[in-house]
Chain A
Amino acid sequence: MSHRIAAASRHGILAILVFASLFPIYYLIVNSVKDPAQFGADQWLPPASLTWANWSRASDVISGPILNTIIIALVGTTLIIVLAALAAYAFAIIKFPGWKIFYWLTFGLLLVPSFLLLIPLYLQISRLEVIDGGYFAVILPSAAAGQAFSIFVLKAAFEEIPQDMIDSARVDGAGEFRVLLNIVAPLARPVFASVAVIQIVAMWNDYLLPSLVLDAAHRTVSVALVAFTGNPSNDSSADFGPLMAGYLLSAVPLIVLFAFSMRSYIQGLTSGASKL
């Protein structure tokens, strides 16, 4: 009997916690279709009539930045993966004399917090006219920032590939690039997937550097959302409906991404942490 009460109370507490965790999503949905009067009257329940105009206004403001962020995240992640795979291959498979020095040089970067580099990067990029304001002003520093973690994870994965497979490919006349492309990369595909998702999510959520170095035409979604919101702590009434619709729109690409790769993302993160 007491067992059953305990089990029921566990489910009860978990249900409350789940509800509270998911509440922001519900809140965004119901309030994204309210006009200002409906929002002022009630923020908890779905409205009697739906104001779809909020969504078209939000999409006018947010779809450009969403596209920008997709470009930045995809190009940046591709760059990270290609560079990190080459370097991880050199550290895990070629193991050339002296590789440890370079490995520790990259590994040590995990200790360097991003805030230390923020101001110098901001100064450096704003003077570099070739990239200042454009996509590469964020892509290149993000690619650099993602290297240490990605090399660390990929190196560990490459080292688990049986040496015999690599050796026999070499005997068959495959050069190192071919070995990486044809043997190592296909075997490490799940690890590539989780590194890619982790980097995409990180770039999607990044705010600081993009807010400092991108011009208005290349804004990412985080920067655009903050600009769209204005000053939220100000108690004057804002037009909330379009804001909530914009917040939801900014989550759509992440929903699509997670629908395919939630497992890779979680496995990558948790296995990375267990190696710390």
Chain B
Amino acid sequence: MSTPASGLQTDSRTAGARVAPARSAAYDPRRSQRRRNVRAVGLGLLFIAPTFVILGYFMYYPAYVAFVGSLTDWDGFNTPRAVGLQNFANAFRDGNLRVAGLNNIPWAIGKVFLAVVPPFLAAELIFHVRRQRWQYLYRTLFVVPLIIPGIVTILLWTFYYRSDGLVNQVLGFVGLDALQQPWLTRPSTALGALIFMGFPWVTPFNLLIFYSGLQAIPGEILEAGALDGATGWRRVLFIDLPLLVSQTRVLVTLAIIASVQALLEPLLMTGGGPGTSTLTPILYVYRTGVEYGDFGYSMSISLILFLVVLLLSVAANRLTRSRKA
């Protein structure tokens, strides 16, 4: 173990020379440079080799299989039969996939709204609390729910939505008995129930992102704004929101990506039903693959979804970026 003694400080070139010392008196800098490079490449490859072995087998190879498999008719056991683009043609004519895609639109809009608005409002409220100690307390309390595993939240909300569940009991307390219903087993309410589960939607991660964004706003801007009458709600709308565009962009992008991947809630809470009312595209991928064993078709739909995710995240970035300019 060495410490950086001033006498030993060198720049990277001389340090490299130690690795491949010039042996002959006729020192050829270009040759030793080359030898050093070869050595560095060898070392570098040695260091990244374990990562790439595991990535190769568990990331690149499955990605390749997904790509090639999408061009085949494959039950997962017999030899895949090449069918060209047939799976993609089928996908565009598939009524179930269309329904699933349409279900995904309100899902994405709702989830993006919930990922931004409640955490932003909570962050504003906390930020405007005068005492630092209270701000710290609120932040901590909002983070505590992270201890509940995600799967437990899903299972709990399934109970909350039952006809004898908490949601209906609350409606009874406030006199809205007419709205009481089994939320997850009615086609008209199931999708909305899945979208709006998780009240009060103050996601710890999103809250903290907004809160640290608010903390980073320079005091001079706020003072200048206050002189121009930008206080209270006006400040939130005309100063805070525009300055939090980059945070919002990240959260919107993440929410869109997550909503196209919405699988666990419909799989565990409704199974996609009643009927196809909560079927999502990714649940359909899961069904055709894992449950019906139509792996080629399943992979082709997941490839289409992958492209949709890519396009949407690029679009989300573009849209919010142009607003900033």
Contact = CB atoms under 8 A, between A and B. Distances in A.
Contacts of A265: 146
B269 A229 contact: no
B75 to A, nearest CB: 10
A56 interface: no
B85 interface: no
Given A89-B47, A115-B282, A251 B152 contact: yes
Contacts of A229: 155
Q: How large is the interface on A (under 10, 10 to 19, 20 to 34, 35 or more residues)?
A: 35 or more
Interface stretch (B49-57, B95-103, B107-115, B234-242): B49-57
Contacts of A143: 54, 58
Contact of A96 (B40, B55, B260, B299): B40
Interface string A154-173: 00000000111111111110
Classify the interface of chain A: helix, strand, loop or mixed: helix
Contacts of B163: 235
Contacts of A95: 40, 44
Contact of A258 (B147, B270, B306): B147
B309 A119 contact: no
A102 B3 CA distance: 32
A120 B299 contact: yes
B15 A170 contact: yes
A123 B66 CA distance: 11
Contact of A87 (B40, B51, B125, B209): B51
Contacts of B214: none
Interface string A189-221: 000000000000100110110001000000001
A247 B299 CA distance: 34
Given A13-B125, A20-B200, A164-B4, A119 B290 contact: yes
How many chain B residues sit at the interface, stated as a range, is 35 or more
A188 interface: no
Nearest to A143: B54
B120 interface: no
A240 B156 CA distance: 11
A43 B167 CA distance: 12
A229 B151 CA distance: 11
A163 B149 CA distance: 42
B221 interface: no
Contacts of B253: 276
B156 A102 contact: no
Given A86-B50, A222-B149, A114 B261 contact: yes
B302 interface: yes
Contacts of B147: 25, 251, 254-255, 258
Contacts of B94: none
A164 to B, nearest CB: 5
A247 B158 CA distance: 14
A67 interface: no
B129 A226 contact: no
Interface string A110-132: 01111111111111100000000
Interface in B134-179: 134, 138, 141-153, 155-156, 158-159, 161-164, 166, 169
B255 interface: no
Interface in B19-45: 19, 37, 40-41, 43-45
Interface string A97-115: 1110010001001011111
A115 B285 contact: yes
A258 to B, nearest CB: 6
A144 B57 contact: yes
20 contacts: A10-B129, A21-B141, A83-B50, A83-B54, A94-B44, A97-B40, A113-B309, A116-B63, A120-B66, A147-B55, A164-B4, A168-B4, A205-B149, A233-B269, A247-B155, A251-B147, A251-B148, A254-B147, A266-B204, A274-B250
Given A27-B166, A43-B166, A168-B8, 9 more contacts: A14-B129, A17-B125, A83-B51, A147-B51, A151-B51, A170-B18, A170-B19, A233-B161, A233-B162
